[in-house]
Amino acid sequence: VEVIFETHPFGSALLHRNVNEQPPLALSATGNVIHLDNGFNMLDGSCGAAVSCLGHGHLPRLGEAVQGAFKMFYAPSLDYSTWPPEKCAEVLVHTTIGAMSKVIFYSGGSEAVEAGVKLAKQYHCELGDWGRTRIIARQQSYHGATLGCLALSGHEGRKRIFKCLLPDVVSHIPACNPYYDRYSEETDEQYVKRKAQELEDEFQRLGPKSVIAFVMEPVVGAALGCVPAAPGYLGAMRDVCDRHGALLIFDEVMCGIGRTGKMHAWQHEGVAPDIQIVGKGLGAGIQALSATLFNHRVAKVLRGGSGTFQHGHTYQNHPIACAVGLEVLNIIRDDRLLENVECLGHLLEDLLHEKLDSHPNVGNIRGLGFFQGIAFVVDKATKQPFDVDLHVYQRFHEIAKQKCQLYTYPGNGTYDGLSGDHAIIAPPYNATEDDIREIVDRF
Ligand code: PMP
């Protein structure tokens, strides 16, 4: 297909992130390499934004899944069901080993996060508790680009110009970020206790019976660069929520669906939420797919109450998208990819430490499985972040692409929701040892 840019006065008719710049065209991709029209062969070290979790080598199986579902007509999900979402939901619930009992599919992470929050609100209303109006989230977090999700997010850089449009119902407590906020003399237990107290204090400040839910990412992605919750943290937060009858929502859009070496990131701690969101990897970059899962506690109240979930999107439970989701889950199982991520995740971590620990501007390397973040600092000793205006994360990203033909996912917000730069390495689950070594070498 030839794309003719000259037909439009400002280059291509398509709006790009950099409005004044035409990005290279990606012509094709093989394995984990994207071939660009400028002659570059970009090694995809992060699956874009932790999306194309099977790389580009599994197209035959995913293609067949799409074709199988293409035979499907469009059946309005308001009144009918189809087999792909039915089957995908069954398999997804099965992976939670009883923790979750129902699923609804959407097209993107933000839609699914908003559905989760609305579900939590409806849960309380079904119980006759209409007084709960507040959500607690965390200061370093990213939950999506819609107004509701931006309000939830603790990412000043992404919120700044839209603040006046955001619903004022969310308060933010500090995230769990031991590199920055743990005192050197604190034990694991003391640290987690202090973090749980921060949540408890917020409940008390708002009025404990006014909180709908606490929303968090078990491993913080875009806002912190792969920072896992400290051991014991998820359980401690669960206890605080339970004490006050608020629901616990885990946003696993970035860290879920096998990215950390377990199907769900919360499975590292064995602490399940009431509502869980997944996205990105579920569609493997082939289809736009996300899901909101919820447990029996929520399902029971919904069934016994109005019996209707008061939220819907046109493309929810979409047959073709769900056929791909189902096949992604099947491939992860058939090819034993969780084992690969866990095993080679240790190698990735070790190599990063070996090669980068001594670098004066690498403050911290952290993560789980194939979800590793590298934080950049001015000075290791003081952990001082770079000036926001230097855009170090973007400059690193450009240099990695131009000089090393390596794609990693850039981010900032680590320190205070605005400054603090990092890069994320998130290889596809079927990466080999050689792939991992190559990514680290180029990085
Ligand atoms: N939650 C998290 C944790 C995310 O990382 C993202 C996307 N980066 C979203 C929600 C929003 O997903 P989407 O961009 O698909 O709407």
Ligand 1: distance of its center to the CA of 183 in Å? 31
Q: Which of 105, 252, 254, 315 to mutate to test the pocket of ligand 1 (most atoms within 8 A of CB)?
A: 254
Q: What is the mean pLDDT of residues 214-226?
A: 97
Which CATH number among 3.90.1150.10, 3.40.50.150, 3.30.70.990, 3.30.70.260 corresponds to the domain 5-57+336-442? Answer: 3.90.1150.10
**Which amino acid is located at 227 in the chain?**
V
Closest by CA to 229, choosing from 345, 140, 344, is 140
Question: Is residue 218 within 6 Å of ligand 1 at its C-beta?
Answer: no
pLDDT in tens, 8-28: 556 678 888 888 888 999 999
228 φ/ψ angles, rounded to the nearest 5 degrees: -75, 150
Question: Is residue 317 within 6 Å of ligand 1 at its C-beta?
Answer: no
- CATH 3.90.1150.10 boundaries in the chain: 5-57+336-442
Position 228 scores a pLDDT of: 98
C-alpha span between 411 and 155 (Å, rounded): 11
- CATH 3.40.640.10 boundaries in the chain: 63-334
Q: Which of 46, 117, 143, 424 to mutate to test the pocket of ligand 1 (most atoms within 8 A of CB)?
A: 143
- In this structure, whether the domain defined by 63-334 belongs to CATH 3.40.50.970 is answered with no
* Encoded tokens for 346: 């240790």
Tell the residue nearest (CA) to atom 9 of ligand 1. Answer: 144
Q: Quote the Cα angle for 259-57-404, to 5°.
A: 75
Residue 147: pLDDT over 80: yes
Position 2 scores a pLDDT of: 59
Residue 186: pLDDT over 70: yes
Q: Which residues contact 287 (CB under 8 A, 6 or more apart)?
A: 66, 318, 320, 321, 324, 325
Mean pLDDT of the chain: 94
Question: Is residue 137 within 6 Å of ligand 1 at its C-beta?
Answer: no
Question: Is residue 409 within 6 Å of ligand 1 at its C-beta?
Answer: no
The top-scoring range by mean pLDDT among 94-98, 153-157, 418-422 is: 94-98
pTM exceeds 0.90:
yes
Q: What is the mean pLDDT of residues 312-333?
A: 96
Residue with tokens 């984990």: 32
C-alpha span between 330 and 91 (Å, rounded): 9
Ligand 1: distance of its center to the CA of 354 in Å? 31
For helices 59-70 and 319-334, the axis angle rounded to 10 degrees is 150
110 pLDDT band, cuts 50/70/90, is: very high
Closest by CA to 367, choosing from 347, 396, 384, is 347
Closest by CA to 88, choosing from 318, 336, 337, is 318
Ligand 1: distance of its center to the CA of 350 in Å? 28
Ligand 1: distance of its center to the CA of 116 in Å? 13
C-alpha span between 99 and 279 (Å, rounded): 18
